[in-house]
Structure 1
Amino acid sequence: MASRLCRNISSLCTKNRHRFLCPVHNVLIQPAASSVTIYEIDRKSGYDPKIPKKPIPTMIKEGIKMIYTESLRFKQEVIEKFSCDGYYITHHGDYQYFWKFNGKSSLDPWTVTADQDHNEGSSSCNLTVSKNNKALFHGFLSTDVPKDGVIKRAGYVNLRSPFNMKSFHRIVSYDFSRYTHLYMKVRGDGRTYMVTLAMNHYFDLLWNDQYQFPLHTRGGPYWQITKIPFSKFMLSHKGRIQDKQFPIPQNNIRFLAFTLGDNIDGPFSLEIDYIGLVLDTNHDEEFAYEMYQAEASHIGF
């Protein structure tokens, strides 16, 4: 009965040439192909690389080989869970290194992306070991727009941290809730990068929610210590700063990323020593932006 109803609605919309205006068709039949969708098809909004599927026998063989190694990892996680004290007091000045770069092995889990990878521009980037044995994110930023009649702006590169992977390829959130600041030692080229903290939300409506704050590099031969309060990060969705702001949920971080898109053509270079967290009890700011109560009609919902 339901399938017959759907076929009748689809046929009616097609005959009247109003498929794109039919709300019933948009919601029930083809939400992915409609002009306005009410859900996200995938977490990367179409930027997920199209990896060909492996044959089923190959997948079964790889899965059997994986069971032993992943079972050992799961066993170790259970032992750590019951043997370690899950609660500890963090004092003023306590810090923790989350990522410290020292050689090529520390760079392997990180991912670099440029608009060229998605046929949206001609920028390029790489992550290599610097002469100081640290991470060097470098390349060339180009704002040349492809002549395809679709892309209007170009010129971005991105460096993304690894996910917090547990046994059997489970992705869990990073927990930054014990600390107040993001703490980094970097050496840049004078350009402004964007530090992004992506959330690990469950519902598709929130998949593209990210918190961002600019990283202004000095340039020159000297290292700089950057200390960014979590209260300063701004909520954005697909790169757009939102009217209604919320404090960042520090216990639900999916990954950290550095993005360059300052509309300046030319080479860029960002050297990173470490990325960590620090607790500063003198910082008592809850959130730097709108904490007042506003009318729902003024800010969306």
Structure 2
Amino acid sequence: MNGFWFRSYKLAFLLPGLLILVAIILFPLLFTIVASFTSWDAVTPGLNGTGLSNYAAVLQDQRFWEAFARLALIAVATVTIEYLLGLGLALLVWREVRLKRFFRVLFLIPMMTTPVVMSVVWRTLLHESLGPANHLLAAVGIEPVPWLSAHGPALASVMIVEIWQWTPFMFLLLLAGLLSLPREPFLAAAIDGAGPVRTFFNVTWPSLMPVSVGAIVIRLIEASKIMDTIYVLTSGGPGTATETSGYYIYIRGLRDFEIGYGSALSITYLVVMTLALTLIAKLLARFAHGEGA
């Protein structure tokens, strides 16, 4: 009986926070779903129902789907590079090297930087005429690069900034995974005469695969929400060269105040991203189990 009352008291203390959390998550989601079936905008305020017309318009909105494809490219490319760089740095610091603790802290600095502040700094560095990046290129005889004013360089600049900021996240998780690996498989590999390369591909990487899958999925989820970096760095330009789904939803929903259509874009984006990330997570988990076997 005493145990029952003790558990009840614990639940009573947790209940207010739980209710607030549910309200914060559920109310905006439900309101967005309701608004997506209306014509609410700057001209016709109010929740006037329009049925599925907003969703029919979303399916025909070529700019939205182009932004979605661009987001997929940025997410997949940056997360892949971040994983490779993070794994390399983690392997470097995992071994006994001098100043190991110093390098661990140094590699984490970009992740500690506020994205908006970081984007402002990078925009200054990549300025076409005043930025240090082009000054360094000119010093070695290379023509200035229009980092933020041409289609290809602008997209590459966004990826560079993302990679610079979030590689430390991969490094941190993968290093934690490496430090938790048991020593016995490595001792057995050394007894069998396996070299560093063979040990990595046959022991280290397969053992690290569960952590790798978790890190990749988490970063894909975060990369799919990229907004502040693009807003500060390129504002989606030049043209729509760096415009992603989140930024396009911001334009239609908040800048143009087409709340109904912006809500339909948001719900469509949420559904598509949930399905895509679930599929990717299952494929990666299946691959990890195959590697483990």
| TM-score (ref. length: structure 2) | 0.23
Higher RCO (C-alpha 8 Å, min separation 6): 2
| TM-score (ref. length: structure 1) | 0.23
Point out the structure with the larger helix share.
Answer: 2
Point out the structure with the larger strand share.
Answer: 1
